[in-house]
Amino acid sequence: MSHLLPTYARANLAFERGEGAWLVSTTGERYLDCHCGVAVNALGHAHPVLVEALKAQAEKVWHVSNLFRVPDAERLAARLCEASFADLVFFCNSGAEAMEGAIKVARKYHAANGAPERVRIVTFEGAFHGRTLATLAAGGQKKYMEGFGPPVEGFDQVPYGDLDAVKAAIGPRTAAILVEAVQGEGGVRVGTPQFLRGLREICDQNGLLLVFDEVQTGMGRTGPLFAHQRVGVTPDVMGIAKALGGGFPVGAVLCSAEAGKGMTVGTHGSTFGGNPLAVAAGNAVLDVMLAPGFLEAAQHKALLLKQRLAAVADRHPTVVREVRGEGLLLGLACVVPNNDLITALREEKLLAVAAGDNVVRILPPLIIDETEIAEAVDRIDRAATRLERAAGAAQGVAPKLEGLKA
């Protein structure tokens, strides 16, 4: 009997070690990891730069609290600002905390401007911003909010991609617009450049802050370091986490000096946020990701993977109806139940993760190589064939196994 609170439907599978894009189970089986702890392990497993950084810091100091300066936190903040629109950074421990902090920044900005009634935030159907009470309300998905009492007030949801609906939702109490450039959990739905640029214009016209949730899309996952950079849109506030620590828990709120002017001493805090171990991991991740050519190489591999997945979809239209996504945040929109494909992939020793809209997310590490991409596509191809055979597809004739070659 497990003493863990049963809030997860865990697979009966555990891992004892990993290297690069591979995980080894406690029974000795090797799995190709296109799950990455839900887009967290962007540099794969046991990356030597990350391992060395944590080893070195572990022998120095683990935690001192934010009542003292943490020089490496200051360094990480400066590097994030240099690589983005931001002037200021607040460190926390998770994506949900980052988005909770971003909501507070947006509301406090208007209070500092003498308009404390401006607290409402326009959000989008299909969004996922975390599991705190406020971020659940921002996401608006009833299946996650059921049983937790009245939703936190202050969020107005509209259809994703609908600029007219955004404009109609804005009133005198509106403070901000909160958006994901790509809705990962919501089904790998990509915001168009027109939509995202339109949000910036609406914010500028109405004195609102534009808040990006880049918890999943940030840190190179969709191509550039941050997804909004792909379309040339500058937010006022941004939440990041997941890949920022390469597997070590760390999140951050980034904002412009103007947007953050209300966050003065005592307005927010986090006991563990930005502690020495966390920022050592974050700095090591940036050491790797900001090295010349790294993000460009990841984008090349992403294009290769997306093209080959499209070929799989063409060969298996009774299993996959569409390939979606940007960079290495890709989704297979399924004809069959998405969990059936995930199970078939696991039987082929490949790990993937479900998303909304009956989608399977394919989230390999950014360090995956072309041979491993070919192997991943072969396994996805075999899993689709497995499902076709089980369903008696192609008029009862078992389809051929056709793996793709590098």
Separation of alpha carbons 376 and 399, rounded Å: 19
Among residues 128, 155, 212, 248, the one annotated as catalytic is: 128
Q: Is 167 a catalytic residue?
A: no
194 Cβ contact partners less than 8 Å away, ≥ 6 residues apart: none
- Cβ count within 10 A of residue 131: 14
Return binding residues: 95-96, 128, 131, 213-216, 270-271
Q: Are 333 and 312 in contact (CB under 8 A)?
A: no
Structure tokens at 140: 């608006």
Structure tokens at 258: 């103007």
Return binding residues for N(2)-acetyl-L-ornithine: 131, 270
- Helix (H) or strand (E) holding 314, with range, is helix 294-315
Phi, psi angles (nearest 5°) of residue 325: 120, 180
Q: Is the dihedral of CA 237, 243, 245, 247 positive or negative?
A: positive
Q: Is 204 a catalytic residue?
A: no
The amino acid sitting at 113 is N
- Helix (H) or strand (E) holding 355, with range, is strand 353-355
Among residues 33, 72, 156, 213, the one annotated as catalytic is: 213
Alpha helices in 160-293 (DSSP H): 163-169, 193-206, 276-289
Look up tokens 């299993």; give the residue. Answer: 319
Q: Is 248 a catalytic residue?
A: no
Q: Are 21 and 10 in contact (CB under 8 A)?
A: no
* Residue from 341, 364, 288, 380 nearest 37 by CA: 364
Separation of alpha carbons 363 and 353, rounded Å: 8
Structure tokens at 311: 């070929």
263 Cβ contact partners less than 8 Å away, ≥ 6 residues apart: 88, 90, 104, 105, 108, 255
- DSSP class of 210: E
Please give the angle made by the CA atoms of 349, 308 and 336, to the nearest 5 degrees. 60
Return binding residues for pyridoxal 5'-phosphate: 95-96, 128, 213-216, 271
Structure tokens at 393: 């597809």
* Residues marked as catalytic: 128, 213, 242
